[in-house]
Amino acid sequence: MISVFDLFKIGIGPSSSHTVGPMVAANLFLASLLEQAELTDVKGIEIELYGSLAATGKGHATDTAILLGLIGHAPSTIDTRLTSQYLAPIFSDKQLIVSGSHTIDFDTERDIHWYGDTVLPYHPNALTIRARLADDTHYQKTYYSVGGGFVISEENANNPDEDHAAPTIDVIPYPFNSAAELLEQCREHDLSISELVLANELHYRDQEEVFAYLDAIWESMQDCVTRGCQNSGILPGGLDVKRRAQALHLQLCAERNQPIAKSDKLAAMDWIDLYALAVNEENANGGNVVTAPTNGAAGIIPAVMHYYRDFLSSYSQDGARKFLLNATAIGSLIKQNASISGAEVGCQGEVGSACAMAASALAEILGGDPAKCLNAAEIGIEHNLGLTCDPVGGLVQVPCIERNAMGAVKAVNAARLACRGNGQHFVSFDKVVETMKQTGADMLDSYKETSRGGLAIYADNRIPTATQGVSVKYSQC
Ligand code: SF4
């Protein structure tokens, strides 16, 4: 089981795989480099981006994320209001201050290489960082950013036994590799999904630490919604996408006590839309968001949790913890058995996964037993199957922001639908996850975070160029 500490992380927008992961990779490279050499021996640094990281890296701020990581900033602690200030020496003086104290010449045109047509063997999101040392030798490492901010080094990719991202399952009290096993464990031990996940978490940390982390994640999500409702203007990147959350928030607040709003039985839906827009606009602006399980899909779980907080009388802090614990089980199963990476399986792996996680968690809040939760999660994925990843201009804005609002509303519907049943359903959660994985494998690369198909070219005002390109497979369709 992947821990709640790994699945939910406070990070930086706009993308967990293309921004958070590359920054983590730069942090790892720096630590590894400093084990091999003195900082003062570093004379130059080159960065190579491959596959999807190169194809959509400019829109996802992959290059600047790596540079910030090399300066010494980490996704969870960086003050995103000061990003331009941190990067100024690079863009104005062509100087990179490695680890915050050692200055080298660095020219983004000369030292960053974009290889969008080259995909390294393990995953479409790959990067290599190379340092030139005083004795004219080089030290280099390759990393894969596999979604949700998770990073695997080339050595670990070639030797999966050394992948320490997930704890070994045989030491936790209630191991599970599939939804069927999870359900069996819940039934045998008379546990809800959140209780089972908590018991597993307590194998590694004490309750105080786990609860403090869960509370911090929930608080960060609420701060993000608050900021998203306050900020307005145009999102960066050149598409001229206007932020909508602030105006919608003012509108909903003004209407709240009007008779028309009181008689509108679907008024909650407008608020769910608002919460999701607020988070994803913050994400698109490069602000702090919680990966849940990715940044592109970061609005769905907070939106449904805000719905729980603001519209259900049963809300409590403990309920918010249960929500995140339950969602962890679902995200863990999807990540282990399929993928949460848009570059690997399309948006079904991002928005579909977040929708399934939120649906299962809400089902538990609504009183659903584990079977109903898994039914809700299955519905959440089933009706996102085949969803492509085609961000216009490589930016996590269109269709991503609105798609989170759709995903959040769908999650509420999935939870309610499942709770009206008895937990039995035609397609099992395990089968739908397997189907998602296979659908992703069959999906053309042009629909997997390359910005070479779908809305990315047809809804883009700019005429597709040779480099923006249409893949051969795509044009044959
Ligand atoms: S389309 Fe979906 S998977 Fe692709 S960047 Fe947007 S939110 Fe992420």
Nearest to 183 by CA among 437, 386, 374: 374
Give the pLDDT of residue 462: 52
Ligand 1 binding pocket includes 373 (Cβ within 6 Å): no
C-alpha 263 – ligand 1 centre gap (Å): 35
Taken in order 379, 380, 381, 383, is the CA torsion positive or negative?
positive
With the most atoms of ligand 1 within 8 angstroms of its CB, the residue from 279, 347, 448, 450 to mutate is: 347
Tell me the domains of the chain and their CATH numbers: 13-154 (3.30.1330.90), 169-471 (no CATH)
Taking each helix axis as running N to C, give the angle between helix 300-311 and helix 400-419, from 0 to 180 degrees, rounded to the nearest 10.
Answer: 50
Ligand 1 atom at minimal distance to the Cα of residue 294: 8
φ, ψ dihedrals at 442, nearest 5°:
-80, -15
CA distance 280 to 275: 9
Give residue 433's Cα distance to chain centre.
Answer: 18
Sheet holding 112-115, edge to edge: 112-115, 42-50, 125-133, 138-147, 150-153
CA distance 474 to 455: 13
Q: Which two tokens stand for residue 258?
A: 């009007």
C-alpha 296 – ligand 1 centre gap (Å): 5
CA distance 357 to 373: 9
The answer to whether residues 83 and 64 touch, using CB atoms and an 8 Å cutoff, is: yes
Ligand 1 binding pocket includes 297 (Cβ within 6 Å): yes
- Nearest protein CA to atom 8 of ligand 1, as residue: 296
Nearest to 356 by CA among 326, 386, 380: 380
Ligand 1 binding pocket includes 400 (Cβ within 6 Å): yes
Query: Would you list the DSSP string of 85-97?
Result: HHHHHHHHH-EEE
Ligand 1 binding pocket includes 124 (Cβ within 6 Å): no
C-alpha 24 – ligand 1 centre gap (Å): 20
The H or E element containing residue 280 is: helix 267-284
C-alpha 113 – ligand 1 centre gap (Å): 24
Give the pLDDT of residue 161: 53
Q: Where are the alpha helices (DSSP H) in 119-192?
A: 154-158, 179-189
C-alpha 437 – ligand 1 centre gap (Å): 16
Ligand 1 binding pocket includes 347 (Cβ within 6 Å): yes
C-alpha 422 – ligand 1 centre gap (Å): 33
454: DSSP letter = T
C-alpha 281 – ligand 1 centre gap (Å): 13
Query: Would you list the DSSP string of 331-392?
Result: HHHHHHHS---HHHH-GGGTHHHHHHHHHHHHHHHTT--HHHHHHHHHHHHHTTTT--B--G
CA distance 244 to 209: 37
Q: For residue 28, which amino acid is it? A: L
Nearest to 15 by CA among 358, 359, 341: 341
Report the 10 Å Cβ neighbour count for 228: 28
CA distance 17 to 12: 11
Q: In Å, how far are 246, 350, 402 from 243, measured between CA atoms?
A: 7, 22, 11
The H or E element containing residue 114 is: strand 112-115
Q: How many residues comprise the chain? A: 477
Ligand 1 binding pocket includes 340 (Cβ within 6 Å): no
Ligand 1 binding pocket includes 389 (Cβ within 6 Å): yes
Instruction: Note down pLDDT in tens along the chain; length 477 residues.
Output: 899 999 999 999 999 999 999 999 999 999 999 999 999 999 999 999 999 999 999 989 999 999 999 999 999 999 998 999 999 999 999 999 999 999 999 999 999 999 999 999 999 999 999 999 999 999 999 999 999 999 999 999 887 654 444 444 458 999 999 999 999 999 999 999 999 999 999 999 999 999 999 999 999 999 999 999 999 999 999 999 999 999 999 999 999 888 877 789 999 999 999 999 999 999 999 999 999 999 999 999 999 999 999 999 999 999 999 999 999 999 999 999 999 999 999 999 999 999 999 999 999 999 999 999 999 999 999 999 999 999 998 899 999 999 999 999 999 999 999 999 999 999 999 999 999 999 999 999 999 988 889 999 877 665 444 334 333 333 232
The H or E element containing residue 443 is: none
Give the pLDDT of residue 67: 97
Ligand 1 binding pocket includes 350 (Cβ within 6 Å): yes
The answer to whether residues 273 and 409 touch, using CB atoms and an 8 Å cutoff, is: yes
